[in-house]
Amino acid sequence: MKTTGQNQPLPSTTPDYPGYSGTTVVRDRIRQNTEPEVNARIDREIADMIRLYSRADHGLISSRLKKLDREWDLDRLLENNASIVVIVGVLLGAFVSRWWLIVPLVPATFLLLRVAFGWFPPLPVARRFGVRTRKEIERERYALKLVRGDFDSFHSREAADPNAVLHMIDQ
């Protein structure tokens, strides 16, 4: 099976781990259209969280996992805001002036750009504010589950090394 450029590993953004070249988050178009330093900062924050929680008890890790369950990813944020703007535009178009029916075209265009190119105008701003993709959130979630000991094949001595944890997640 051939892979596309979308499935190639990202360049290393974490410190060296013996035999590990760095993060291998599967490329997605959001990450490709985000400035490399923003992606690196997000990857560092994930590694820092793993490092911090690798020393924590199960209760703290579980509370972090619950927080991750509530975190909104970039697509959810875009879809929610687009829905609000469309509803407001249609209501204003129905009750105030027909000219307001132009307003829903803006989020519709953003959604089309997101689907077609993986980019939309507010993307750089949202990423700089730290809004993560679903894959980035899931990467942290599964790394924390590894640290907590949810998977049998993981050895507890590796829990102290966030790079080892992220290496296992990325495989």
Are both 59 and 106 inside the same structural domain? no
Are both 18 and 55 inside the same structural domain? yes
Q: What is the pLDDT of residues 118-142, one digit of tens each?
A: 999 999 999 999 999 999 999 999 9
Beta bridge partners of 20: 17
* Claim: this prediction has a pTM higher than 0.95: no
Residue 1 lies in a domain: no
Are both 138 and 165 inside the same structural domain? yes
Lowest mean pLDDT among 12-16, 105-109, 146-150: 12-16
CB atoms closer than 10 angstroms to residue 166: 27
Q: What percent of the chain has pLDDT over 70?
A: 79
Are both 137 and 67 inside the same structural domain? yes
Task: Give CA–CA dist 128/67, Å, rounded.
Answer: 20
Are both 63 and 25 inside the same structural domain? yes
Are both 124 and 157 inside the same structural domain? no
Residue 145 lies in a domain: yes
Domain count, the chain: 2
Check: CB of residue 143 under 8 Å from CB of residue 166: yes
List helix spans (H) across 54-133.
Answer: 58-70, 74-95, 105-117, 123-128
CB atoms closer than 10 angstroms to residue 119: 15
Residue 139 lies in a domain: yes
Are both 60 and 137 inside the same structural domain? yes
Are both 141 and 125 inside the same structural domain? no
Are both 67 and 18 inside the same structural domain? yes
Computed over every residue of the chain, the mean pLDDT equals 84
Residue 111 lies in a domain: yes
Residue 2 lies in a domain: no
Residue 63 lies in a domain: yes
Q: What is the pLDDT of residues 57-103, one digit of tens each?
A: 999 999 999 999 999 999 999 999 999 999 999 999 999 999 999 99
Residue whose entry in the numeric block shows the structure tokens 């690798």: 54
Check: CB of residue 65 under 8 Å from CB of residue 141: yes
Are both 145 and 162 inside the same structural domain? yes
Residue 27 confidence (pLDDT) above 60: yes
C-alpha triplet 62, 131, 107: angle, nearest 5°: 130
Are both 54 and 97 inside the same structural domain? no
3-state secondary structure of 17: strand
* Domain ranges, residue 123: 72-131
Exposed / middle / buried, residue 70 (Cβ in 10 Å: 0-12, 13-18, 19+):
exposed
How far does the chain reach from its first CA to its final CA, in angstroms? 18
